[in-house]
Structures are given as C-alpha cells and as structure tokens.
Amino acid sequence: MSETNTPVQIEESWRIALQEEFQKPYFPLIKQFIIEQKAKGKTVYPPGSLIFNAFNLTPFNELKVVILGQDPYHGSGQAHGLCFSVQHGIKPPPSLVNIFKEIKTDVGIDTPNHGNLESWAKQGILLLNASLTVNSAEPNSHAKCGWQTFTDAVIKKISEEKKGVIFLLWGNFAKAKKVLIDTSKHYVLEAAHPSPLSGGAFFGSRHFSKTNELLKQQGKRIIDWKLN
C-alpha cells in the first residue's frame, strides 16, 4: 500500500485501468485501516509487497480468465496475494486439494507437490480475492474495510473494457458477483465452492477443460494447468 499522494505500486496496465479508483475517497481509508490493525498488534497477511501480487503477475492487457476467491488465507506463510494459492513449502489447504483432484479427473494432470499457482497467473489467470488482506487467524476480518468496493470495481472494469474473459465463480459468494459481469460478451462458469464443506458438489464441474475449450474457440492460447 502507498501513501495517499503517491502512486499505488501496481503493474502499469492496471495502474492506468484503475487510476480513477485510486483517487476515490474510500481507497486511502483501506491503508489507514491496515495501519490501525497493525498498531493494535495484529499480524496482517499477505505482506505489503504481495498485496497486489495477482495484478502484478497478470497484467490487464494479458488477462484471459478470472478465478474469484473471498479472502486471503489467514495462517502463517500461506497468503501471497493469489486466491486459493499458497507459497512454496506450505501444505495445500483442503479447497486447493479438491481443485487439484478435479483437475486430475478433468484433464488428467497429476496432483502437484506444492500449491503455488503463480504459473497460472503468468498465463493470464487473474487469481483475485474479494478482500486483499486479512488478520492472522481472523477470517474475513478485512471484509468491510473497502477492499470489496475496490475489487468489485476491478471486475466491472474487466467487464467493460475487455471481451471474451472467462469468469470462474465457485460458491455462493463468487456467484453473487455475476451481476457485475456483462454476460453478453464474457463467459461465466459457475460451480459449488471447492471446500470440503460443499460436500463434493464441486467435483464434475469440469471448469478446467471447459475454460480451454472457450479459449480455443476464441483463438487464444489454452492454459497449461500443470504447475511449474
């Protein structure tokens, strides 16, 4: 995060696309909220340098797919600014394990030995959490600080300025964002959340092969779901 009067440290094409958003009154209040949390002794995830990691790894100009998450992981060393992804050396959480199981069934790729999804991000998949920060051991603790206003604006900007983007909406929270997307020029694939709490309803959605089929139809390079 940056001071109010200095540019946000974010990849250039996103900085241009979201310039108006950064000038709105609510945006500096997010930084203020995070500073206040730290002043209270809270540990905030991810580290400041990784808050905009999803944007930095997936430039606006290269964006093809959006996967929407709700909240960063709130355990030590997990969150690094990409939804569902964890840093190398961290055990994949249950939702991510289920994502890998579905990939195995859908496109035949074996479960990787890590849960870092950076290689997806570098292929044009925006791994966007609705909130970009969280307190340690306090899920959804930053859900009302302004992040969702910002990330809703991100989704709207993608919808308005791009064409043929594939949005993967998993679970009721993500599905509720469908109203922000112009479905006449974008693709929306919906499924249950990959969490074990969904009772396995995520399995069989085949979103990974469907995404590649839609990319192929548009003449775009398909996603290699195998992690590097």
Pick from 188, 175, 177: which is nearest to 214 by CA?
Answer: 188
Pick from 56, 49, 111, 47: which is nearest to 77 by CA?
Answer: 47
Secondary structure letter of residue 70 according to DSSP: S
Secondary structure letter of residue 178 according to DSSP: G
Residue 140 has which token pair? 């959804």
Contact (Cβ atoms closer than 8 angstroms) between residue 59 and residue 14: yes
Cβ-based neighbours of 176, under 8 Å, separated by 6 or more: none
Active site residues: 71
Cβ-based neighbours of 215, under 8 Å, separated by 6 or more: 64, 65, 166, 221, 222, 223
Distances (CA, A) of 192 to 95, 181, 217, 226: 11, 19, 25, 22
Contact (Cβ atoms closer than 8 angstroms) between residue 31 and residue 2: yes
Secondary structure letter of residue 74 according to DSSP: -
Backbone φ and ψ for 64, nearest 5 degrees, come out as: -125, -30
Task: Please report, to the nearest 10 degrees, the dihedral formed by the alpha carbons of residues 162, 48, 88, 152 taken in order.
Answer: -30
pTM beyond 0.85, yes or no: yes
Helix locations, the chain, DSSP H:
12-17, 19-22, 26-39, 53-57, 94-107, 118-121, 147-161, 172-175, 207-217
Contact (Cβ atoms closer than 8 angstroms) between residue 148 and residue 131: yes
> Tens-of-pLDDT digits for all 228 residues of the chain?
444 455 688 999 999 999 999 999 999 999 999 999 999 999 999 999 999 999 999 999 999 999 999 999 999 999 999 999 999 999 999 999 999 999 999 999 999 999 999 999 999 999 999 999 999 999 999 999 999 999 999 999 999 999 999 999 999 999 999 999 999 999 999 999 999 999 999 999 999 999 999 999 999 999 999 998
Contact (Cβ atoms closer than 8 angstroms) between residue 225 and residue 103: yes
Cβ-in-10-Å burial (0-12, 13-18, 19+) of 67 comes to buried
Q: Tens of pLDDT along 26-41?
A: 999 999 999 999 999 9
